[in-house]
């Protein structure tokens, strides 16, 4: 769970209660009232673990490094995005505020540090539905033949990123070049009324610091591979059920709720020990800021509203962006895979930004393994 009792926190920290309270007052550990007993407090587990790991002499370097790879401190410096005080920022700008008016193309210019408008091109025919298969094939075709990213200037990489993004956009948002990407998606799905919601979601999902797919893209770029190869590796990682494929778990929960009722569905998931991927996010102890921004823009379908209320009450955390994106797709009758299409198109901007940042740094990402196998003779 994301929250610890006082006793659990003290055990991890190995300190007295006064030290725990001092760390809370200094903002090092986030706390909230215990819903079961408001006289007691709960403490955000990641904050407690991170502080415990920093105590001098308490842990070996390799163990601290191993924890850093698993939801720990950032392992790479980046100027692109960060999560601070429960809010997501792109180069210092609040993503939720950008989502009120910006387009994905404008966010690309911000994250790529470009001063001129994007030239994505676009195919006039838009009677073909977007599929990830098309995006995979298009990237795989150009990845072996594009120039490696190693040793190239940022302006050259920016031009290449523009081209790679255009390839992905043609696959995932086919349509005429004069239309912004959110309108191209709305038209190809024949849901012009969803255009603004699609625009908002594209902006909110463009980057999320060192998530699994972005870290993968950076590793690929660090080896000097092509930008198209970096995006291809990010896209492959995104399809996993613990990442961009989480919408399928949300959809399964909703199908169960439709069959047996919202409360019974949520209770059955918890009783079976199944994770509720629709609820909570480790980086947002007070609620996923992206979900809050998106959910404020439309009315939840009744069943989604029921599941949200029940789940938030029983789990004690708020719904996340996977829930919000799936709910939006349902509310506007978008294709079932719309959440993943939106996610992939949007996050391509972030992958390219990170790939360029990594390429310019010239550093190879190469962690060491902590061997736990049979003894070496």
Per-residue confidence band for 72, with pLDDT thresholds at 50, 70 and 90? low
Give the gyration radius of the chain's Cα atoms: 22
Give CA–CA dist 142/232, Å, rounded: 10
- Comparison of pLDDT for 143 and 123, the residue scoring more: 143
Q: Is the pLDDT of residue 73 over 70?
A: no
Give CA–CA dist 220/95, Å, rounded: 26
Locate tokens 């408008």: which residue?
117
Q: Which two tokens stand for residue 373?
A: 């196998």
- Comparison of pLDDT for 324 and 283, the residue scoring more: 324
Q: Is the pLDDT of residue 170 over 90?
A: yes
Residue 177: per-residue pLDDT: 87
The fraction of the chain above a pLDDT of 90, given in percent, is: 67
Q: Is the pLDDT of residue 307 over 80?
A: yes
CB 207 within 8 A of CB 214: yes
Residue 56: per-residue pLDDT: 45
Residues ≥6 apart with Cβ < 8 Å to 344: 132, 135, 168, 172, 235, 238, 244
Query: Among 2.60.40, 1.50.10, 1.10.1660, 3.40.50, what is the CATH number of 3-69?
Result: 1.10.1660
* Mean of per-residue pLDDT scores for the chain: 91
- Kindly report the number of other CB atoms within 10 A of residue 370's CB atom: 10
Residue 205: per-residue pLDDT: 98
Q: Is the pLDDT of residue 191 over 60?
A: yes
Residue 235: per-residue pLDDT: 97
Give CA–CA dist 166/324, Å, rounded: 27
107-111: long-range contacts, CB 8 A cutoff, minimum separation 24: 107/202, 107/203, 107/206, 107/349, 108/165, 108/206, 108/349, 108/352, 108/353, 111/80, 111/81, 111/206, 111/207, 111/349, 111/350, 111/353
CATH 1.10.580.10 range(s) for the chain read 92-377
- Kindly report the number of other CB atoms within 10 A of residue 178's CB atom: 9
Give CA–CA dist 310/319, Å, rounded: 11
Residue 71: per-residue pLDDT: 64
CATH code of domain 92-377: 1.10.580.10
CA atoms within 13 A on the CB side of 29: 29
Ranking 110-124, 126-140, 251-265 by mean pLDDT, the lowest is 110-124
Burial of 103 (0-12, 13-18, 19+ CB in 10 A): middle
Give CA–CA dist 234/211, Å, rounded: 10
Per-residue confidence band for 66, with pLDDT thresholds at 50, 70 and 90? low
CB 324 within 8 A of CB 281: no
Q: Is the pLDDT of residue 61 over 60?
A: no
pLDDT in tens, 173-184: 999 989 999 999
Strands 93-94 and 87-90 come out as antiparallel
Locate tokens 């709910």: which residue?
327
Q: Which two tokens stand for residue 135?
A: 């995006």
* Measured CA distances, 337 to 172, 330, 334 (Å): 11, 11, 8
Per-residue confidence band for 127, with pLDDT thresholds at 50, 70 and 90? low
Q: pTM for the complete prediction?
A: 0.84
pLDDT in tens, 248-287: 999 999 999 999 999 999 999 999 988 888 999 988 988 9
Locate tokens 């992958």: which residue?
351
Q: Which two tokens stand for residue 55?
A: 């105590």
Residue 62: per-residue pLDDT: 59
Mean pLDDT of 354-371: 91
Of 38, 14, 37, 19, the residue nearest 29 (C-alpha): 19
Of 320, 175, 354, the residue nearest 242 (C-alpha): 320
Mean pLDDT of 18-41: 84
Locate tokens 């190809």: which residue?
188
Residue 21: per-residue pLDDT: 84
Mean pLDDT of 59-86: 74
Strand, coil or helix: what is 238? helix
Of 342, 315, 318, 316, the residue nearest 328 (C-alpha): 342
Q: Is the pLDDT of residue 33 over 90?
A: no
Residue 181: per-residue pLDDT: 97
CB 366 within 8 A of CB 68: no
Mean pLDDT of 14-34: 84
CATH 1.10.1660 range(s) for the chain read 3-69
Q: Is the pLDDT of residue 313 over 50?
A: yes
Q: Is the pLDDT of residue 160 over 70?
A: yes
């Amino acid at each position: 769970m994301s929250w610890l009792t006082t006793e659990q926190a003290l055990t991890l920290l190995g300190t007295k209660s006064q030290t725990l309270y001092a760390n809370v007052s200094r903002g090092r550990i986030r706390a909230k009232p215990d819903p079961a007993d408001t006289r007691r407090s709960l403490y955000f587990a990641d904050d407690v673990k991170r502080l415990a790991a920093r105590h001098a002499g308490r842990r070996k370097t390799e163990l601290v490094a191993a924890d850093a790879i698993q939801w720990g401190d950032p392992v790479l410096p980046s100027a692109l995005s960060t999560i601070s005080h429960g809010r997501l920022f792109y180069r210092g700008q609040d993503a939720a505020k950008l989502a009120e008016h910006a387009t994905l193309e404008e966010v690309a210019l911000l994250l790529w540090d470009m001063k001129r408008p994007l030239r994505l091109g676009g195919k006039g025919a838009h009677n073909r539905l977007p599929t990830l298969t098309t995006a995979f094939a298009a990237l795989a075709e150009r990845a072996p033949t594009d120039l490696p990213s190693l040793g190239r200037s940022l302006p050259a990489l920016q031009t290449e990123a523009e081209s790679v993004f255009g390839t992905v956009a043609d696959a995932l948002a086919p349509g005429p070049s004069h239309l912004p990407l959110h309108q191209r998606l709305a038209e190809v799905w024949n849901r012009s009324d969803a255009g603004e919601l699609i625009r908002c979601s594209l902006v909110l999902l463009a980057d999320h610091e060192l998530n699994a797919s972005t870290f993968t893209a950076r590793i690929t770029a660090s080896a000097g591979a092509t930008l198209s190869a970096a995006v291809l590796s990010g896209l492959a990682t995104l399809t996993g059920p613990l990442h961009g494929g989480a919408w399928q778990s949300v959809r399964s929960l909703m199908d169960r709720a439709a069959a047996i009722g919202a409360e019974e569905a949520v209770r059955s998931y918890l009783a079976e020990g199944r994770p509720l991927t629709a609820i909570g996010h480790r980086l947002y102890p007070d609620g996923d800021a992206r979900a809050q921004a998106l959910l404020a823009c439309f009315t939840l379908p009744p069943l989604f509203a029921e599941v949200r209320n029940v789940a938030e009450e029983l789990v004690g955390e708020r719904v996340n962006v996977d829930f919000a994106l799936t709910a939006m797709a349902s509310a506007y009758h978008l294709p079932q895979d719309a959440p993943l299409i939106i996610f992939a198109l949007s996050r391509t901007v972030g992958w390219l930004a990170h790939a360029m940042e990594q390429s310019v740094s010239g550093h190879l990402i190469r962690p060491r393994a902590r061997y736990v196998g049979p003894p070496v003779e």
